[in-house]
Structure 1
Amino acid sequence: MIKFELEDCITNKEELRGLVGEPSERAKNKVISHIDENCKNFLAMSPFLMMSTSDSEGNCDSSPRGDAPGFVHVMDDHWLVIPERPGNKRLDSIMNILSNPSVGLIFLIPGLEETLRINGQATIIKDEKVLKEMHVGGKVPLIGIAVKVEECFIHCAKAFMRSKLWDRESWPSKEARPKAAKILAEHTNLPGVTEEKVAAGLRESYSKRMY
């Protein structure tokens, strides 16, 4: 493999703007600082989001969150709460938030190519009176991520149109898709951890420990 080397890099904002140009007035003015009725309706229909965080040193992470549409609860015009469902207990996003509360969220609705972006300040909560409203089958999340919204805005559809993400005809076949169990087994690289054992563990987790 040929070693990649960076060349001809952009190093300042002036050079960047000179190459790309300035945003339109609509793009500059589309950002609001609260959760209006349009955003509430979007959130009520969204079953999936991506969350971006970083720690105090700037090390970044992004992770998915998903559940039934409306699983993110809007508390008022400025606060929303994301339930933290059971996972692998790495808590990458949670740990980052404890040292740097700034978060970025992207909400998706299946079939809709525009997305909703929300940026704000997050706090980890264990308030049972809030979290019990997010129970599934009587199982209440232990913690939640409360976000004080600073920016809300719609992101255009070009990324979804280019990728054809919602076009089933463009999807790879099941046989051609990467195998998560194989990747996990090879990345873990521990004695006795095989693709078959990882696959069995994933099936058990998905069937018994969703909530």
Structure 2
Amino acid sequence: MTGFGIFREVISSESELREMYGEPSKLVQNKAIAQMDSHVRNFIGQAPFLIIATADAEGKCDASPRGDASGFVHIIDDNHLVIPERPGNKRMDSISNILSNPQIGLIFMIPTLEETLRINGRACIIRDAELLEKMAVKGRVPTIGIGVQVEECFMHCAKAFMRSGLWKPESWPEAGTTPNVSQILADHVKLPGITAKEVAEGLEDSYKNRLY
């Protein structure tokens, strides 16, 4: 295939891809399991952070972070887990996508561990009070949760984290050199009277008073 927007040389078939890279090793071909065993449960129990990947009915994709104290994802049985939906900005991108397309992908991360756990499956939005009450924090019960029917679990190698140095403090940027998020938001929304200072104050209030 030639041409895709500004891209001139585009791979368009699995066979072409395999000609370039070959087949995965036997270990990689056989590492996926269909349910959460004791290793997967332990990994999830120690993970304070994950990324949720969803897509709408048209296939438009979204990736969204979720984080809380280690073990915040509730495991029901070998094939079902629940991710609590904490207060956010009310865009509800992941939630809306799941309502039209239940397919979901998860990546669980544990600080300092460069391998990650990937889970794929189907999701729904739940209001089961008995389950949600188990994920209450500071007396606040999540209104809804993302229920996941697990179909595939496997470990992902450490190469991305090794290349990025994500967990290595010596590779982190110096204080004061990272992007100014408040200024970015103010410039992007382009609303009269919305300044970086006001955005910063709003963010601080949200982070301080509306985490749960």
TM bucket, shorter chain: over 0.9
Corresponding position of 2:126: 125
**Counterpart code for 2:141:** V
Q: Residue 117 of structure 1: CA displacement?
A: 0.1
Corresponding position of 2:82: 81
Distance (Å, rounded) in 2 between the aligned partners of 1:173 and 1:143: 39
Unaligned runs of 5+ in 1: none
Query: 5 Å matches for 1:103-114?
Result: 103-114=104-115
Query: 5 Å matches for 1:1-211?
Result: 5-211=6-212
**Counterpart code for 1:13:** E
SS at match of 1:104: strand
Distance (Å, rounded) in 1 between the aligned partners of 2:162 and 2:107: 17
- Indicate the percent of aligned positions where both proteins have the same amino acid: 58
Q: Residue 174 of structure 1: CA displacement?
A: 2.1
Distance (Å, rounded) in 2 between the aligned partners of 1:44 and 1:113: 16
Unaligned runs of 5+ in 2: none
Distance (Å, rounded) in 2 between the aligned partners of 1:130 and 1:174: 41
CA RMSD of the aligned region, Å?
A: 0.7
1:118-138 alpha-carbon deviations (Å, 9 max, x no partner): 000001001111000000011
SS at match of 1:165: coil
1:3-43 alpha-carbon deviations (Å, 9 max, x no partner): x8211211111101100110111001000000000000000
Distance (Å, rounded) in 2 between the aligned partners of 1:183 and 1:120: 35
Moved over 4 A (4+): none
Distance (Å, rounded) in 2 between the aligned partners of 1:97 and 1:179: 32
Q: Residue 148 of structure 1: CA displacement?
A: 0.3
Q: How many residues in Structure 1 have an aligned counterpart in Structure 2? A: 208
**Counterpart code for 2:122:** Q
Q: Residue 173 of structure 1: CA displacement?
A: 1.3
1:177-201 alpha-carbon deviations (Å, 9 max, x no partner): 0111111111111001100000000
TM-score, scaled relative to structure 1: 0.97
